[in-house]
């Protein structure tokens, strides 16, 4: 499954390093470029709840197989896009493949290894994050000798081959059936709404800012930090590379520490690193702030997924997780469009990011008060109980 998650995540993050060439090819404004990136993430958001319903009727591995087929077809469509409308449709469908995949695959991998939820989420996330690291490098290499179209054509071909490989492997595998009792999405949402709402509040708010930041990172640092486009793309690789140890380490920490304090600490680190990025001057300071931002931002995902998947019972896991993930991703998805629109209106990047940091500080303060008042659900297992290896 690591090869599939690599590809589906590659399909949605590849738009970040391609925004500049796509803007040149289609004469896009900043807000329209932001909308293209938003469509990929909106596509990743919208099918999540419907996929949760689908999983009450269809086995998880069959949905994973379908996402590979959708990704291959969508990347092929994007490679031949001849209008902004077609480009946007391709971006949306590539996002759809990723959204449906994560809803089916994350519960599946945790059910395969129920005593090591944080660890397997970390490993699975590390494979996903490697795609984000490779994407800017791959795009840069392809653009040296070809065009953006060849990037999407390559994704389409490799996705088709990996999907066939996954089909052959799934035929021979002994897959778990603990999710067979999960047959009522609405009942799961009603029963598990406190933990769903907690996850949405944390990652929905922070993810909104993160989406805008990384999709416009190259444009942002070239406009405000006096670095060239090549250096900016390398720094974008750095911000994603910092996510590799973040998934690996935080996944293990999530197995050993109480979930809510860990998530709130990550939230505070995210706000601090966002502010540091806006004041960084010089390549060394900018690199340090970028590494910090990449590490903290990517730590959210294994921490939140472990919080949800380690806490939800078998009979509600996939359904409740899909509701959380769908609502959370919709909140995230509009970040690029909002950021692009604010910048196009005349506000500077640093001013926008500092305003976002202020808003996140308010959200964090509310969450801390709720936690101290014992309102936020802790979730998970007793941290004093050792997890097996």
Query: With pLDDT > 90 as the criterion, what percentage of the chain qualifies?
Result: 32
Q: Looking at residue 215, what is its pLDDT?
A: 82
Rounded to 10 deg, the angle between the 30-45 and 2-13 helix axes is 150
Q: Looking at residue 386, what is its pLDDT?
A: 38
Instruction: Give the highest mean pLDDT range of 102-111, 129-138, 352-361.
Output: 352-361
Instruction: Quote the DSSP letter at residue 80.
Output: T
- For residues 360 and 267, the answer to whether their CB atoms sit within 8 Å is yes
Is the pLDDT score of 349 beyond 80?
Answer: yes
Q: Looking at residue 384, what is its pLDDT?
A: 40
Contacts of 110 (CB under 8 A, 6+ apart): 117, 120, 121, 309, 310, 317
pLDDT digits (tens, 9 = 90+) for 18-33: 888 998 889 888 788 8
Minimum mean pLDDT range among 119-123, 250-254, 358-362? 119-123
Is the pLDDT score of 118 beyond 60?
Answer: yes
Is the pLDDT score of 151 beyond 70?
Answer: yes
CB atoms within 10 A of CB 171: 8
Instruction: Please give the mean pLDDT across all residues of the chain.
Output: 85
The first and second tokens of residue 309, run together, are: 């998947």
Closest CA to 305 of 379, 226, 374: 379
Q: Looking at residue 291, what is its pLDDT?
A: 95
Find the mean pLDDT for residues 35-40: 86
Q: Looking at residue 176, what is its pLDDT?
A: 57
Instruction: Quote the DSSP letter at residue 381.
Output: S
Q: Looking at residue 361, what is its pLDDT?
A: 96
Is the pLDDT score of 348 beyond 60?
Answer: yes
Q: When comparing pLDDT for 92 and 59, which is higher?
A: 92
How sure is the predictor about 388, in pLDDT bands with cuts at 50, 70 and 90?
Answer: very low
SS (H, E, C) 167-181: HHHHHHCCCCCHHHH
Annotate 200-228 with DSSP letters as a single string. Answer: IIIIIHHHHHHHHHHHTHHHHHHHHS---
Q: Looking at residue 382, what is its pLDDT?
A: 42
As a whole number of angstroms, the distance between CA 297 and CA 269 comes to 8
CB atoms within 10 A of CB 190: 13
Find the mean pLDDT for residues 145-169: 90
Q: Looking at residue 379, what is its pLDDT?
A: 61
Find the mean pLDDT for residues 42-49: 84
Q: When comparing pLDDT for 45 and 67, which is higher?
A: 67
Is the pLDDT score of 88 beyond 90?
Answer: yes
Q: Looking at residue 168, what is its pLDDT?
A: 81
Q: When comparing pLDDT for 190 and 76, which is higher?
A: 76
Q: Looking at residue 181, what is its pLDDT?
A: 61
Classify 280 as helix, strand or coil: coil
pLDDT digits (tens, 9 = 90+) for 278-321: 999 989 999 999 999 999 999 998 899 888 887 788 788 878 88
Find the mean pLDDT for residues 82-90: 93
Is the pLDDT score of 245 beyond 60?
Answer: yes
pTM exceeds 0.85 for this model: no
Instruction: Give the highest mean pLDDT range of 105-109, 171-175, 187-191, 274-278.
Output: 274-278
The first and second tokens of residue 265, run together, are: 């600490």
Is the pLDDT score of 178 beyond 80?
Answer: no
CATH of 2-172+180-372, one of 2.60.120.200, 3.90.79.10, 3.40.980.10, 1.20.1250.20: 1.20.1250.20
């Amino acid at each position: 499954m690591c090869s599939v998650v690599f590809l589906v995540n590659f399909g949605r993050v590849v738009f970040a390093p391609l925004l500049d060439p796509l803007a040149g090819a289609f004469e896009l404004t900043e807000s329209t470029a932001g909308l293209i990136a938003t469509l990929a993430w909106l596509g990743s958001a919208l099918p999540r709840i419907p996929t949760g319903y689908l999983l009450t009727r269809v086995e998880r591995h069959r949905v994973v197989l379908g996402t590979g087929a959708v990704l291959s077809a969508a990347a092929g469509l994007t490679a031949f896009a001849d209008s902004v409308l077609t480009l946007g449709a391709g971006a949306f469908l590539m996002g759809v493949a990723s959204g449906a995949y994560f809803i089916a695959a994350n519960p599946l991998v945790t059910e395969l290894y129920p005593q090591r939820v944080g660890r397997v989420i970390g490993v699975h996330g590390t494979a996903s994050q490697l795609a984000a690291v490779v994407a800017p490098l791959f795009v840069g290499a392809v653009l040296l000798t070809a065009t953006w179209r060849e990037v999407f054509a390559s994704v389409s071909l490799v996705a088709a081959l990996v999907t066939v490989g996954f089909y052959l492997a799934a035929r021979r595998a002994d897959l778990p059936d603990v999710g067979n009792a999960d047959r009522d999405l609405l009942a799961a949402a009603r029963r598990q709404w406190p933990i769903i709402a907690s996850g949405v509040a944390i990652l929905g708010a922070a993810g909104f800012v993160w989406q805008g930041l990384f999709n416009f990172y190259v444009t942002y640092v070239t406009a405000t930090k006096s670095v060239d486009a090549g250096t900016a793309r390398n720094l974008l690789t750095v911000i994603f590379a910092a996510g590799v140890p973040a998934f690996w380490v935080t996944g293990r920490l999530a197995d050993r520490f109480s979930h809510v304090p860990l998530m709130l600490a990550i939230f505070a680190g995210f706000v601090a690193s966002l502010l540091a990025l806006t004041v960084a001057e010089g390549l060394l300071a900018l690199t340090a702030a970028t590494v910090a931002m990449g590490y903290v931002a990517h730590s959210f995902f294994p921490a939140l997924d472990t919080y949800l998947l380690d806490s939800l019972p078998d009979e509600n896991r996939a359904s409740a997780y899909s509701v959380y993930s769908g609502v959370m991703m919709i909140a995230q998805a509009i970040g690029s469009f909002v950021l692009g629109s604010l910048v196009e209106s005349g506000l500077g990047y640093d001013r926008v990011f500092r305003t976002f940091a202020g808003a996140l500080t308010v959200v964090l303060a509310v969450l801390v008060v709720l936690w101290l008042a014992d309102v936020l659900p802790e979730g998970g297992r007793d941290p004093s109980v050792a997890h097996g290896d």
